[in-house]
């Protein structure tokens, strides 16, 4: 049976249906998004102009902050403005565009987190060869590779979605465009597409998480030979990264590493990793990093002068 693709506009159900609750959410989430832009922007600018933050760790951190700004901006602005709208609409092309960039920047962030774990592994386990292994050229290649990996992942997601027919209904049970809610609206059997999506996202997340866990397992084993002070210093440099990994992978794994469902909890968990986590990352890295805090103070003092 041939289905005609006659859906050009989609309607979001939103996070909540109560208008008063939506207004409260607007008041809560707008400052969170602005804080995300300010915090990550401050880290990116500080690392870029600082004369002391030139190590690979800070280069990866500035790249992560830039990706966080882009990642959050694919969802948060539309979501926040829709909280004040009676009818939340988006074109089908706009929906596919949002899916592409959301998965693109999301995967770039995952790969960057893996690269940062590798950087900590080399710094702690092979300190004498650190600057040779993590040269400027290597760091640039690793960051470029993360962007390429995100691009390949998103192209696969979009290639399997574009040919699907959408003939109605056109209501997405979510507050932004994502693959699982959109696939439910297709007028054809999407078992294979769902399988590919789960394999593409799930397997990628599992492999990335395995590399992260393995890196820190090796680090912990190697620290057994260090003094108590050496262990404390090494662990302090890893603590922020581990915290960010947990904040990012926990909610993401809940959504993408299992079959889709219609639970309201899915939307609530999605809010955490699309809006809240990008704001927490700069807080986690700056509060636990003395060099970063000192560089930010110098940046503001020079600006005042």
> Would you call 45 helix, strand, or coil by DSSP?
helix
pLDDT at 249: 73
Domain ranges of the chain: 9-300
CB 59 within 8 A of CB 47: yes
pLDDT at 59: 92
Asked if residue 1 has pLDDT above 50, the reply is no
Mean pLDDT of 224-244: 76
Contacts of 66 (CB under 8 A, 6+ apart): 40, 44
Work out the number of other CB atoms within 10 angstroms of the CB of residue 101.
16
C-alpha distance from residue 282 to each of 52, 125, 246, 252 (Å): 18, 26, 15, 19
> Would you call 89 helix, strand, or coil by DSSP?
strand
Task: Break the chain down into helix, strand, coil percent, rounded to 5.
Answer: 75, 5, 20
Name the residue with higher pLDDT: 265 or 48: 48
Instruction: Report the sign of the C-alpha dihedral through residues 214, 215, 216, 218, in that order.
Output: positive
Asked if residue 259 has pLDDT above 60, the reply is no
Prediction pTM value: 0.89
CA distance 108 to 91: 26
Residue-averaged pLDDT of the chain: 85
Residue with tokens 């990866």: 60
Q: Which letter does DSSP use for residue 3 in this model?
A: P
pLDDT at 304: 53
pLDDT at 10: 92
CB 248 within 8 A of CB 273: yes
Residue with tokens 């002391």: 52
pLDDT at 24: 94
pLDDT at 97: 95
Q: What is the pLDDT of residues 150-201, one digit of tens each?
A: 999 999 999 999 888 888 788 998 899 988 888 888 888 888 888 888 777 7
Q: What is the CATH number of domain 9-300?
A: 1.20.1070.10
């Amino acid at each position: 049976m041939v289905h005609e693709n006659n859906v050009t506009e989609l309607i979001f159900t939103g996070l909540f249906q109560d208008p008063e609750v939506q207004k409260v959410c607007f008041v809560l989430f707008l400052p969170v998004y602005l804080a995300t832009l300010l915090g990550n922007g401050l880290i990116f600018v500080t690392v870029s102009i600082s004369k002391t933050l030139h190590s690979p760790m800070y280069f990866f951190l500035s790249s992560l902050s830039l990706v966080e700004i882009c990642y959050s901006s694919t969802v948060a602005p539309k979501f926040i403005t829709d909280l004040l709208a009676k009818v939340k609409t988006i074109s089908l092309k706009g929906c596919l565009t949002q899916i592409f960039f959301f998965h693109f920047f999301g995967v770039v962030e995952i790969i960057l987190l893996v690269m940062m774990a590798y950087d900590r592994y080399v710094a702690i386990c092979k300190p004498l060869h650190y600057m040779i292994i993590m040269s400027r050229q290597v760091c640039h290649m690793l960051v470029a590779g993360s962007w390429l990996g995100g691009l390949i992942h998103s192209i696969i997601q979009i290639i399997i979605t574009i040919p699907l027919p959408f003939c109605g209904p056109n209501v997405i049970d979510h507050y932004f465009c994502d693959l699982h809610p959109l696939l439910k609206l297709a007028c054809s059997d999407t078992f294979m597409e769902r399988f590919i999506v789960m394999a593409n996202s799930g397997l990628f997340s599992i492999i990335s998480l395995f590399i992260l866990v393995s890196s820190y397992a090796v680090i912990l084993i190697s620290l057994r030979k260090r003094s108590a002070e050496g262990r404390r210093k090494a662990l302090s440099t890893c603590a922020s990264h581990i915290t960010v990994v947990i904040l990012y992978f926990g909610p993401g794994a809940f959504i993408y590493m299992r079959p889709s469902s219609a639970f309201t909890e899915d939307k609530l968990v999605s809010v955490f990793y699309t809006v809240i986590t990008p704001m927490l990352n700069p807080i986690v890295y700056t509060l636990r990093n003395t060099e970063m805090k000192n560089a930010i103070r110098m940046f503001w003092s020079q600006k005042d002068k």
